[in-house]
Structure 1
Amino acid sequence: MFSRFGKPGLTRRTFLQSTAAVAAATSLPRIANAQDKVIKIGFLAPLTGAVAAWGKPGLDGCEIWAERVNAAGGIKLSDGDYMVEFVPYDNEYDPAKARTGATKLIREDGVSFIMMLGGDTWPGVQPVADRTGMLFSTLLPSDLGPDTTTLIAPAEVHPIYNVTAVEWMAENRPELKTAVMCAQDDALGLPSVATYLAAFEAAGIEMQGEPLLFDPATTDFAPVVTRLISSSPDIVCLDTCYSDYVHPICEQLFQQGYEGQIISCTADFYDQIIAKTSAEFMEGFLFQFPDFDDPALNSDQVNFADPNGFFAEYNKRYPGQWGAVSWEYASIMDLWKAAAEMAGSSEPDAVIAAMKEGGTGKHAFGDARWWGKELFGIENALVGDWPVVAIEGGKATIKEFRNIPAWYDKHGDLLVKHMKAYDQMWDQRG
């Protein structure tokens, strides 16, 4: 069940060397200009399967975003106003299906921009991006490299933002001295493991053993948790486990009597975890994604329009489905819309140039800068502040916004060290 450096499935290097992938991409025409006063945006993400919680809620949020924009007159380009329409394609978190989806969205649907979750699916898409010049976005900056010139990470800076909760925890809970960690062994889990290790080391928190990596096919988490807490750690870190893993792991921690601190990248549908454990057990659970009814989001620094209203409408339409990505793809569209209107065009080259003008951008949580040369080989990640969130009284609560570049300026060498140890630097991923 457990491995340390296993890399299941296709790697970026092997996929990019696939002659079939390249051949398929070479024949693609580039269709970037909107037709019939409608701009089509591709949504290429897992809508079913184990990773659907980081795809489908984002599509639902985008539909609300589109209705708002269209009701306000659409996207204003140099040759008129355009309505916006999302075209989804379920890649099921599979590289080959993602390649097929990208091809269809460009060739048949004529999209002007494609949003992805990224991760294991990006190697399937990169040949298409290279051949067509289509602009893609990812929620995982670890996809970035010097050759990914048409790929941007403008909303989520996974996994680097995970350092903020560890830093906050170390300052506010200094009695917590030891930690253990588990994660699925894949392109989402491994860079996050490296990031948490760097954050714990920077905070002076001792790791009790190597991170426990489990096969993504795991369904029985009782032995995982038994092994995880055998050393009686102060902190259990769930890394960037999918919600399908976070829920049963938390249930097992509860059933096996764990009473320490839990920290995780996400806590999607945390009300369901509380229902299966208890409010007391989940009190103080730290993660990185707020509910958008949080009063802290009404701050002047926040660049997401009417977050409380968006949250209310989302929950009215999709009760119980709010999660980490419910707002992120919509936030990317805010940046894309502003850039397209600045450029007066939906052409990918024009949009990315306008988006990166001046080296800064309006991130959802405040002004940010385009960054990443040292870590990714390219400055295509929009990085600034990120919230630290704790469950208090059964409700997600923003404790503080913390600056990611400020942490990196102090501890970047640790992050690079651990990324290299897990083969997660851009020049190691190929």
Structure 2
Amino acid sequence: MISKIVKSGLTRRTFLKSTAATAMSAGLPGMSLAAGDTIKIGFLAPLTGAVAAWGKPGLDGCEIWAERVNAAGGIKLDDGMHKVEFVSYDNEYDPAKARTGATKLIREDGVSFIMMLGGDTWPGVQPVADKTGMLFSTLLPSDLSPDTNTLIAPAEVHPIYNVTGVEWLAENKPDLKTAVMCAQDDALGLPSVATYLAAFEAAGIEMLDDPLLFDPATTDFAPVVTRLISKNPDIVCLDTCYSDYVHPIAEQLYQQGFKGQIISCTADFYDQMIAKTSEEFMEGFIFQFPDFDDPALNADNINFTDPNGFYAEFNKRHPGQWGAVSWEYASIMDLWKAAAEKAGSSDPDAVTTAMKDGGKGAHAFGDAAWWGTELFGIDNALVGDWPVVAIEGGKARIKGFRSIPDWYAKHGDLLIKHMKAYDQMWDQRS
């Protein structure tokens, strides 16, 4: 974790410098593709461990995506049709293993593009990206900086979309006036903390205490919850806690008698939380990731092919495993495929140019703009609308779509203020 790296005296900057030497010595060959060759896509994410819920379901979704594309003939480039194949590497959410994986995927597997979760693993990979010019994607735009020219965030705009849930809550439940928050102290938790603080401030909701940051190694959440609810808040915010934290925290909130509102970035495998608590307790739980059988995803503005069918097939193959990332990596591949076909090539530079042409893109939840200079120092995040989801009658349902750019236009100064307070602006992180 970044926090642990800093405590040990190794900063992100020195980590990047040391790993750059490794990448420079690797002598990575250029990616090449002949007519008829299968296009290989790298999947570099945690497939085991505490963060696996944001990796493995995404790979499972990509396999469904590849089968659909290959069944339709593949990807059409200037030299003809190409089938597509995913090559995965489990980085276990470790920056050194991510660096090794990136090197292998490029040098040995000859991939044309690499998808990552990002976060704590990106510093290990960035020197490889810089040396090779390989195009990488992240689900965490907080990885972006002016130095990350080959990194894009085309699907998830974590953590900025979290403002939409707070905005919806303030408008629809104005009687909720106070909040508390907890998060793991790492590169996923901290920028999200800053975002929620900005959102609560913009909504006029009072924070009763500073965010409670716990060590990522925490396993006993009873004391965390006891402290969290000691001031009797109206709202408990679980930030972007991993599912391995959200579940025991929710269970403790239930056991300790909390009756208020819960809001979280994710609620992966929420059926398991309902089973451990009750349907009544989980009623109204707000988060940001819909099930893809939601009728709202059949609207004309949605840029994800047959979301209901994708969801049904995923659950048929992987029952009980649908989560926040099950569709996201596949959505990134929709954008990559469209850009590669537009460019007539799988070359990373050509794909990037085609993808960003005109400054607009077909995001899963509607047309969006390439944005980010104000916050990340580079316009490599695809930002538009995002859904607000609530659990009703034991089922996740989209309550509406909210515009992230519209919120930022009104409250961007608050977001920058809190990002700076937590050292999460790009110039502070790099």
- Aligned residues of 1:22 and 1:128 also touching (Cα < 8 A): no
The residue aligned with 2:245 is 245
Residue in 2 that maps onto 1:74: 74
Matched residue, 2:320: 320
Deviates more, 1:24-33 or 1:177-186: 24-33
Q: What pairs up with 1:87-102 in 2 under 5 angstroms? A: 87-102=87-102
Q: Relative to structure 1, is the Cα distance of residues 200 and 399 closer, same or farther in structure 2, using a 3 angstrom cutoff?
A: same
Q: CA deviation at 1:31?
A: 1.2
Paired amino acid for 1:148: T
Please list, as runs of the form range in 1=range in 2, the aligned pairs for 1:411-426 lying within 5 A after superposition: 411-426=411-426
Give yes or no for the alignment of 1:385 onto 2:382. Answer: no
Per-residue CA deviation, residues 27-83 of structure 1 (Å, 9 max, x unaligned), is 212214357520000000000000000000000000000000000000000000000
| SS of equivalent residue, structure 2 residue 99 | helix
Cα deviation 1:265-323 (Å, max 9, x = unaligned): 00000000000000000000000000000000000000000000000000000000000
- Return the alpha-carbon distance in structure 1 between the equivalents of residues 39 and 135 of structure 2: 14
Alignment of 1:167-186 (within 5 A): 167-186=167-186
Residue-by-residue CA offset, 1:408-430 (whole Å, 9 max, x unaligned): 00000000000000000000001
CA distance change for structure 1 residues 156 and 104 in 2, over 3 Å: closer, same or farther?
same
1:112/1:247 CA distance change after superposition, 3 Å: same
Secondary structure, in 3 states, of the residue corresponding to 1:281?
helix
Alignment-derived partner of residue 343 in structure 2: 343
Instruction: Output the CA distance in 1 between the equivalents of 2:101 and 2:245.
Output: 27
Q: TM-score, normalised by structure 1?
A: 0.97
- Residues 1:22 and 2:9 aligned together: no
User: 1:12 Cα shift?
Assistant: 2.6
Question: Would you say the 8 A contact 2:389–2:397 is kept in 1?
Answer: yes
Q: Which runs of 5+ in 1 are unaligned?
A: none
Q: Distance in 2 between matches of 1:137 and 1:331?
A: 12
Please tell me whether the aligned partners of residues 11 and 123 of structure 1 are also in contact (alpha carbons under 8 angstroms): no
Q: Structure 1, residues 197-254: CA drift from partner, whole Å, max 9, x if none?
A: 0000000000001000000000000000000000000000000000000000000000
Instruction: State the SS of the aligned residue for 1:175.
Output: coil
Equivalent residues of 1:162, 1:288 under 8 A apart: yes
% identical aligned pairs? 84
Give the letter aligned to residue 322 of structure 2.
W
Which residue in 2 is equivalent to 1:306? 306
- DSSP-derived class of the 1:209 partner: coil
1:169-220 deviation line (CA, Å, top 9, x unaligned): 0000000000000000000000000000000000000000100000000000
Q: State the 1:15 CA deviation.
A: 1.2
Moved over 4 A (4+): 4-11
Q: How far has the Cα of 1:125 moved from its partner?
A: 0.2
For residues 5 and 214 of structure 2, what CA distance do their matches in structure 1 show? 10
Stretches of structure 2 that go unaligned for 5 or more consecutive residues are none
- Structure 1 position 55 matched with structure 2 position 58: no
CA–CA distance in structure 2, aligned partners of residues 176 and 333 of structure 1: 40
Q: CA deviation at 1:14?
A: 2.2
Please give the TM-score of this superposition, normalised by the length of structure 2: 0.97
Residue 333 of structure 2 is matched in structure 1 by 333
Q: Distance in 1 between matches of 2:363 and 2:7?
A: 33
SS at match of 2:123: helix
For 1:263-412, what aligned pairs fall within 5 Å after superposition? 263-412=263-412
* CA offset digits 1:361-380 (Å, max 9, x no partner): 00000000000000000000
CA contact (8 A) 2:35 2:80 kept: no
Shift of 1:120: 0.2
How many residues were matched structurally?
A: 426
Q: Give the counterpart letter for 1:90 in structure 2.
A: D
Give me the whole-angstrom Cα distance separating, in 2, the residues matched to 1:34 and 1:425: 42
Match of 2:41 in 1: 41
Q: Is the contact between residue 5 and residue 11 of structure 2 (CA under 8 Å) also seen in structure 1?
A: no
8 Å contact kept, 1:32–1:348 = no
Listed as ranges, the matches of 1:140-179 within 5 Å are 140-179=140-179
